[in-house]
Amino acid sequence: MSTLKLVATGDVLLHDRIYNISKTSDGKYDFRDKLSPAKKILSSGDISIVNLESLVAGEEMGLSSFPDFNNPIELAENLKEFGTDIVSNSNNHTMDLGEAGVLKSLENLEKIDLEYVGSYKSKKDKNRHRIIERKGIKVGFLSYTAVTLGKNPPKGKSYLLNRIVQGQTKFVRQDIERLKKEEKPDVVVVSLHYGREYPLLPVSSQKEISASVSDAGADIIIGHHPHVLQPAEWIINSRGKKTFCIYSLGNFYSGQKGLYRQIGGALSLDIEKKQGKINVKNPELKLTFVDAYKKANYQMHNLLDYISKNPYIRTTHGEFDSLEVYSELSNRFKSWMPEIELN
């Protein structure tokens, strides 16, 4: 028997108010102090995946913030240094700087040897399976976005962005079938950028797409886009198989302001392989909080550590009782999946 720990985080998307105060004396950028709790979180996984929602085309293409994001390459370097193995990069900001931005961002990721999934430089690149094997367990990764806000790849270059159009998952099914046939992974992990921004519970489109992707053969579904945490549940599909699905991991690190936009997390799952059979178990959510004030340096904290020192959470939109916030989060998640732990 062997057990692998998978760690997955929410969105990493830096506004200019963060990177403008992160420039060092040598003209580069350094986010390691601000992201310090992420090091323990990411390094705790045998495999760690981050949802990198911004391009990292760097200063060469001009750094930019909302509505078209382009972050410093040092952001990806810091994430890799902390233990990130692969980033999901299919989302509604992938095409913010057009094809040139995609290609430059991918070039920068390749320079630091950080694997990516969901947006590709060519058809050949798209057809290369993303497989990571640890402890005798092979994990295959796929990633798609159902949201583009009109920023779509040019005709004939669909490889630039894996899309789910109008909820149709035929191509997801085909990709999973090819992955399983050619690589025979023990586990298939699918990242989905979908739903609407900011609801604390999944909307119907998320549930419908997730059910279809489960039926297509996904073992684990990791949701993104709402920018707030949403619950997890077990999906039983028509084939009698069970899929773990978390509908949104919220913001892991961003400059967004608002209580639940500043609270994010990292999912931890144990993947157990015993006599050839796979069991996904021990779901845990490691909660984080970004203190979104310039004077607070946009510092990331472990939420429970922050609560232990601060009876109230202060945001630009009000002051909230810390224990009541944690209680709401815990109740919301445990009503969907009683066994999930929030730490």
Residues 278-334: pLDDT tens digits?
999 999 999 999 999 999 999 999 999 999 999 999 999 999 999 999 999 999 999
Q: pLDDT tens digit string along 219-233?
A: 999 999 999 999 999
Evaluate if pTM is beyond 0.85: yes
**Tokens representing residue 126 in the block:** 């798209």
Chain mean pLDDT for the chain: 97
Residues in contact with 143: Cβ distance below 8 Å, sequence separation at least 6, in sequence order: 88, 89, 90, 117, 118, 162, 190, 191, 192, 193
Q: How far is CA 299 from the centre of its chain?
A: 19
Q: What is the pLDDT of residues 99-133, one digit of tens each?
A: 999 999 999 999 999 999 999 999 999 999 999 99
Q: Is beta strand 318-321 parallel, antiparallel or unpaired with respect to 312-315?
A: antiparallel
| CA 48 from centre of chain | 10
Task: Return all residues near 319 (Cβ < 8 A) that are at least 6 apart.
Answer: 312, 313
